[in-house]
């Protein structure tokens, strides 16, 4: 049983090397998708008791949605979780996580929050089947109280965690951990009993990893890579709505409980807000490798009729490593240009660059696998995205560049590029080196297979490129 896997949205006829079929996507909505694979099925669980499933990470079926009696996951949810909902003064649930323990049962770490304060409760519900019904085992943590908190100290929201957004995972040695937190006092981690799923005694709220002073950092998710022997802590910065500037970041450590650092070697414990200032984004936006923010691939003139692709406030991701194929996947929800607060799940493939940092493919996963490419296949015009490091509602539009056959980059930015090995990419722009991969994948908006690149610098800035092709060019 593997804990991680893909999530909501996509439906696709399987794309193979010998098939001429275009991928077809079927989209679903699960906010804050957390993944688990059970036998040959991938499940995602999210806020508001929503869930979906897929066998191929592309053809998704909605399983549940809505915190109301009759939801298949917890059929009598208003009674079953009445203590939690009452404590948090709410009628809904936030981002859960589900894991299977050694007894074969599935443990759902549910949580509820008032929202305008960290008045929250987190508990465990258990089922013998992944799709439920889940039975409540009780609350394990509370926050936001006036007076003494669950660590025996006076609760201070600038220093203590908001007990939401759990991710429960096994480390490489078989220990069970839970990382959690949103805004407020930051992101925390604690060790759990691997047999019962309950917190080990005398930990209080656990160990702080980063955040504080109401820094807009939330949605932690841990992924261990046997390839690099690092634990990668994914995080979402900013606000989740269409104007919030949500963006996905990552830090890493050799230990599941840290200390975590970014690509510049900065300690993530220093990623926090300013005392007395609410949501001081500039104080912590320099921390963490930014993988993705608001973007839109705009037309470059070669394909003027194509509607282009873009995301608004992508975030609250989970991640999955497939040990058999060696593939990494990023699963997240996102909003879209011109579509308001409507959100769907997206899945993108990830790769480790030569420095051991993940880079994210520019287009949604459509069954592609990385291959061996030539300089001739790579050279040409691209739409270029620089994701920067800021937390902003601004949408970064693509700009035209060209990777010339003689290794130069011209257009909106200038520099050099080269292909090393079968698909490793190195771009040098303004004397800054960016490392990652070239990847041929499906561009849904253009309706074509295109060459792309995804690279990141030591400063934690990600660049994307997607090949612009004339309409007459075949897939």
368 among known catalytic residues: no
CA–CA dist 338, 342 (Å, integer)? 10
Q: Are strands 380-386 and 462-467 parallel, antiparallel or unpaired?
A: antiparallel
Q: Which of 56, 80, 97, 218 is catalytic?
A: 218
Q: How would you class 168 by CB atoms within 10 Å of its CB: exposed for 0-12, middle for 13-18, buried for 19 or more?
A: buried
CA–CA dist 239, 408 (Å, integer)? 38
Compute how many other C-beta atoms are within 10 angstroms of the C-beta atom of residue 259: 14
Give the 3-state secondary structure of residue 256.
Answer: coil
CA–CA dist 239, 237 (Å, integer)? 7
Give the 3-state secondary structure of residue 82.
Answer: helix
Nearest to 214 by CA among 280, 116, 167, 267: 280
Q: Give Cβ neighbours of residue 132 (< 8 Å, ≥ 6 apart).
A: 72, 73, 74, 75
Q: Which of 32, 165, 303, 444 is catalytic?
A: 32
Return the half-sphere exposure (C-beta side, CA atoms, 13 A cut-off) of residue 428. Answer: 8
CA–CA dist 157, 147 (Å, integer)? 11
32 among known catalytic residues: yes
Residue 107 phi/psi, 5-degree rounding, is -110, 115
Question: Which amino acids are annotated catalytic?
Answer: 32, 218
């Amino acid at each position: 049983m593997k804990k991680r896997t893909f999530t909501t949205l996509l439906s696709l006829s399987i794309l193979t090397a010998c098939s001429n079929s275009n991928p077809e996507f079927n989209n679903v909505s699960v906010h804050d998708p957390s993944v688990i694979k059970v036998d040959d099925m991938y499940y995602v669980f999210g806020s508001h008791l929503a869930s979906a499933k897929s066998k191929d990470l592309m053809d998704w079926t909605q399983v549940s949605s809505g915190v109301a009696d009759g939801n298949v996951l917890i059929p009598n949810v208003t009674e079953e979780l009445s203590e939690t909902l009452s404590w948090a003064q709410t009628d809904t649930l936030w981002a859960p996580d589900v894991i299977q323990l050694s007894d074969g049962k599935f443990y759902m770490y549910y949580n509820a929050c008032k929202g305008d304060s960290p008045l929250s409760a987190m508990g465990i519900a258990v089922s013998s089947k992944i799709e439920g019904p889940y039975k409540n085992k009780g609350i394990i943590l509370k926050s936001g109280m006036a007076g003494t908190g669950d660590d025996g100290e006076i609760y201070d929201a600038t220093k203590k965690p908001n007990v939401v957004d759990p991710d429960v995972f096994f480390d490489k040695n078989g220990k069970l951990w839970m990382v959690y937190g949103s805004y407020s006092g930051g992101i925390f981690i604690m060790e759990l009993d691997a047999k019962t799923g309950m917190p080990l005694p005398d930990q209080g709220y656990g160990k702080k990893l980063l955040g504080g002073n109401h820094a807009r950092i939330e949605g932690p998710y841990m992924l261990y890579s046997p390839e690099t022997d690092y634990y990668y802590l994914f995080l979402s910065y900013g606000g989740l709505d269409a104007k919030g500037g949500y963006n996905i970041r990552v830090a890493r450590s050799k230990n599941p409980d840290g200390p975590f650092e970014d690509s510049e070697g900065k300690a993530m414990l220093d990623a926090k807000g300013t005392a007395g200032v609410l949501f001081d984004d500039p104080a912590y936006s320099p921390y963490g490798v930014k993988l993705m923010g608001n973007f839109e691939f705009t037309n470059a003139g070669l394909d003027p009729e194509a509607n282009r692709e873009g995301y608004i406030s992508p975030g609250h991701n989970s991640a999955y490593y497939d040990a058999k194929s060696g593939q990494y996947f990023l699963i997240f929800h996102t909003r879209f240009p011109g579509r308001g607060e409507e959100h769907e799940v997206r899945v993108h493939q990830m790769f480790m660059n030569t420095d051991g940092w993940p880079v994210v493919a520019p287009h949604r996963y459509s069954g592609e696998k990385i291959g061996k490419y030539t300089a001739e296949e790579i050279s040409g015009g691209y739409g270029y995205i620089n994701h920067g490091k800021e937390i902003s509602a601004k949408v970064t539009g693509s700009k035209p560049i060209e990777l010339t056959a003689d290794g130069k980059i011209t257009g909106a930015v200038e520099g050099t590029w080269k292909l090393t090995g079968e698909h490793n990419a190195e771009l040098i722009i303004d004397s800054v080196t960016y490392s990652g991969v070239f990847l041929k994948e499906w561009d849904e908006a253009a309706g074509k297979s295109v060459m792309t690149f995804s690279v990141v610098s030591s400063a934690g800035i990600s660049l994307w490129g997607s090949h612009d092709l004339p309409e007459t060019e075949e897939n």
